[in-house]
Amino acid sequence: MADQVSFVILVPMVYLAFAVLLAGIGVRIGRVLVSPRHPSTLRLFPARRAAGVAALQDTFLMPQVRRHASAFWACLLLFHVSFLLLILGHLDLLPWTRLRPADSKHMLGWGAVGVGVTLPAFYFLLRRMRGPVREISTLGDYLLLLLLVFVLLSGDMMSWANSWSENGFVMTKQDFGAYLASLARFEFANPRDLLPGSHYIVVVIHVFLANLFLMLLPFTKVMHTFFALPLNRLRRG
Amino acid sequence: MENALRERLRELFAGRLSAEMRLYLDTCARCGVCIEACHVYASLPETRYTAVARAETIRRIFRRYFKLEGRIFPWLGEVLPLDDPALEKVYETAYTCTGCRRCMTYCPFGIDTQMIQGIAKLLLIGADREPKLLTMLADMSIAKGETITESKENFELAMRNLEGEVIEKWRGEAGKEAIPVGVQGADILYVALAGKHSIVPAAAIMNAAGENWSLSYFEAVNFGAFVGNPAKTREISQRIIQEARTLGVREVAICECGTAYRVMKYQTGEQPFRVISFVELIDRYLEQGRIRIDPRQLQGRVTYHDPCQMARNGGIFEEPRRILRRLTQDFVEMQPNRAENWCCGGGGGLVAMGEQEFRMKSARVKAEQMKATGAAVMATACENCHTQLSDLNEHYGLGMRVAFLSALVADALVPREPEAGVAARPSDGLRRAES
């Protein structure tokens, strides 16, 4: 029974999560695209000559946050840069991508990337528990952050154990690569055959939480990933 | 609340869901960076007075009626059904926000809270709960447009009665009207407010510049924008647009009224004339040497309040400063200033509605900012701001003089230097020195 549940989580649910993610994002973006345009400018002044460049700066460097909440800004920047590296690190697990040598035992960053996202995520959670930010927060904000924290922590457990200890988890980068490659090829192979080791349950938990996160993403504020740039473009005119 | 009304409000809401509005409503991360941005929160630190909390009221209604997740997970506490208590909350969010958009300079996404409050105001209109005074003022503006033929004569007579006051400031050319109206082919159509303070100094300045101008029959202020009624906003603007087209003017100069300027400049679409602020016109006259001013006329330290709708929402930052630096050597900036200046606290219809107690309490931070300059004169270029700053000045005992830029310039007008080889015009010798 446990094996069947694990299989469902590690294979069909992953496909379902990506399907919901892509369809959800498509619907959300599509709804914006088909809505009528506001008839007049919504820009703020002073105007910058290169409005597009200014919007890119606003989106990726967040100067407004740096000016008014510098500690938060530092954590945001660390989180977002690390998250990008995390995505690259997961892609690097696939056998046909070569960001690091194929025989490398470890993920990109040797576990540091995970720390780069996890610590700021804890900061975000703590920040939300105090002061006026607490008063503007909803149950959904906490649940989403907690889900993210647990996805990251379970990922960190796998990564750190392999990176930092000779006697760590016995699953290697190549093992994970074989599992992801089987998913990418729609082979529906039993992941237990590809991922040996006693901490298989950690992998199952990590993938389950990640699936949930991906499925919820289009229906949450995480959609700012796609909307931040067009919004900043509006502000810059 | 009856279902029919609820459905009507839902339809009104849906009518405002442009692509931009969807982005604004969908994206807030509730990071709280904007909390410190609002002058109301800075003066009265209650969460309900933050930009995010105000916008959240509207977002919760949005999620309840327009989002799948709001229907599936209402228990997450992120929805607000449309009922009587909700509308009370909507009223509070709409009319404690001055629409200054200072929060946009804090938000990492640049979410426009004023735009979101436009929905709040529209819902209140739909539920017949908007401030009736604002609607009445908007209706009066529209009625004036409809009955202009009958009221033209009275308007012209009133202007004739004001001409003496214009001539006191600047005697124009012999035989030329001090306040011309209905001038076909005028270069400038000046749109004033109802009140001689908005007409007399401007007339003196334009006459001093030898401008070919005409005074609009209509007042610039757009109460349709204050009450958040897009149809009325359009109708009110349309009167001026029609007049400018009929006269064939090159430029429409909007008096010192921030909202009027922003609506005409940025919200009326392409027109065959250019829209400028009267402040820009004064700056142009000074740059071109068409008027001269005596800096000795203005005594004491001077500071300038950037009206939100003209500065961060309209792009006029340097013109007033150039004018003031010609008027005085003792100019000091407010801190913060320009795009980050604190709102005066009187926008969004609050001044027109009265709301004295709330305006004074919620703009304490503005009064402190004014006081910190040590200035004797507080110049500004917006009617709303002028009223609010004057009230703050009195309420907090700041001992300042609050003045319009145009009034300061008109009081300091002096004859131009005659150009080399060109004799001064006959009227140049009869200037305000006589007064």
Question: What confidence score (pLDDT) does residue A97 get?
Answer: 85
ipTM attached to this prediction = 0.94
CB-CB under 8 Å, A220 with B69: yes
Nearest CB neighbour to B110, from listed A45, A46, A235? A235
CB-CB under 8 Å, B110 with A132: no
Model confidence over B312-343: pLDDT tens digits?
999 999 999 999 999 999 999 999 999 999 99
Indicate the pLDDT class of residue B419, thresholds 50, 70 and 90. low
The answer to whether A138 faces chain B, any CB pair under 8 Å, is yes
Q: Are B141 and B223 spatial neighbours (Cβ–Cβ below 8 Å)?
A: yes
CB-CB under 8 Å, B111 with A228: no
Nearest to A18 by CA among A85, A81, A90, A79: A90
Nearest CB neighbour to A234, from listed B67, B110, B311? B110
Q: Name the closest residue on chain B to residue A135, using Cα atoms.
A: B47
The answer to whether A219 faces chain B, any CB pair under 8 Å, is yes
B143 vs B364, residue with greater confidence: B364
Q: Which residues pair with B191 in a beta bridge?
A: B254
Partners of residue B33 in chain A, C-beta under 8 Å? 64-65, 68-69, 72
Q: Count A/B contacts: CB-CB distance under 8 Å.
A: 144
Q: What string of DSSP letters covers chain A?
A: -HHHHHHHHHTHHHHHHHHHHHHHHHHHHHHHHHSPPPSS----SSPPSSHHHHHHHHHHH-HHHHHH-HHHHHHHHHHHHHHHHHHHHHHHTSTT--SS-TT--S-TTTTHHHHHHHHHHHHHHHHTTSHHHHHH--HHHHHHHHHHHHHHHHHHHHHHHHHH-TTS-S--HHHHHHHHHHHHTT----HHHHS-STTHHHHHHHHHHHHHHHHHGGGSGGGHHHHHHHHHHHHH-
CB-CB under 8 Å, B31 with A227: no
Which of A70, A136, A220 has the highest number of chain B CBs within 10 A, making it the mutation to test binding with B?
Answer: A136
Which of A44, A61, A80 has the highest number of chain B CBs within 10 A, making it the mutation to test binding with B?
Answer: A44
Q: Other CB atoms closer than 10 Å to residue B433's CB: what's the count?
A: 8
Average pLDDT over residues B255-262: 97
Average pLDDT over residues A185-211: 93
Question: What confidence score (pLDDT) does residue B54 get?
Answer: 97
Average pLDDT over residues A121-139: 95
Average pLDDT over residues B385-406: 98
Nearest CB neighbour to B339, from listed A37, A44, A132? A44
Question: What confidence score (pLDDT) does residue A167 get?
Answer: 65
Q: Name the closest residue on chain A to residue B103, using Cα atoms.
A: A64
CB-CB under 8 Å, A46 with B110: no
Model confidence over B280-314: pLDDT tens digits?
999 999 999 999 999 998 999 999 999 999 999 99
CA distances for A194 relative to A188, B53, B173, angstroms: 12, 50, 96
Please tell me the distance in Å from B57's CA to the nearest CA on chain A. 11
Give the three-class secondary structure for B163.
helix
- The tokens for B208 are 């001093």
Indicate the pLDDT class of residue B145, thresholds 50, 70 and 90. confident
Instruction: Say whether pLDDT at B422 is over 80.
Output: no
Q: What angle do CA B9, B15, B17 make, to 5 degrees?
A: 110
Q: A10-24, A125-139, B164-178, B401-415: which range is least confident on average?
A: B164-178
Which of A28, A29, A32 has the highest number of chain B CBs within 10 A, making it the mutation to test binding with B?
Answer: A32
Q: How far apart are the C-alpha atoms of B409 and B319, rounded to whole Å? A: 13
Share of chain B above pLDDT 90, in %: 87
Specify the CATH number for A2-34+73-225; select among 3.40.50.300, 3.40.50.620, 1.20.950.20, 3.40.1260.20: 1.20.950.20
Model confidence over B100-115: pLDDT tens digits?
999 999 999 999 999 9
Question: What mean pLDDT, rounded, does chain B reach?
Answer: 93
Model confidence over B160-217: pLDDT tens digits?
999 999 999 988 777 789 999 999 999 999 999 989 999 999 999 999 999 999 999 9
Nearest CB neighbour to B33, from listed A37, A65, A221? A65
Instruction: Say whether pLDDT at B243 is over 70.
Output: yes
Question: What confidence score (pLDDT) does residue A197 get?
Answer: 78
Q: Name the closest residue on chain A to residue B31, using Cα atoms.
A: A133
Question: What residue ranges do the domains of chain A occupy?
Answer: 2-34+73-225
Instruction: Say whether pLDDT at B425 is over 50.
Output: no
Question: What mean pLDDT, rounded, does chain A reach?
Answer: 93
A172 vs A183, residue with greater confidence: A183
B383's torsion region: left (phi>0), alpha (psi -120 to 50) or beta? Answer: alpha
Pairing, β B274-277 against β B292-293: unpaired
Q: Residue written as tokens 């007064």?
A: B435
Instruction: Say whether pLDDT at B410 is over 90.
Output: yes
Cβ partners under 8 Å of residue B368, min gap 6: none
Phi, psi of B293 (to 5 degrees): -130, 150
CB-CB under 8 Å, B28 with A132: no
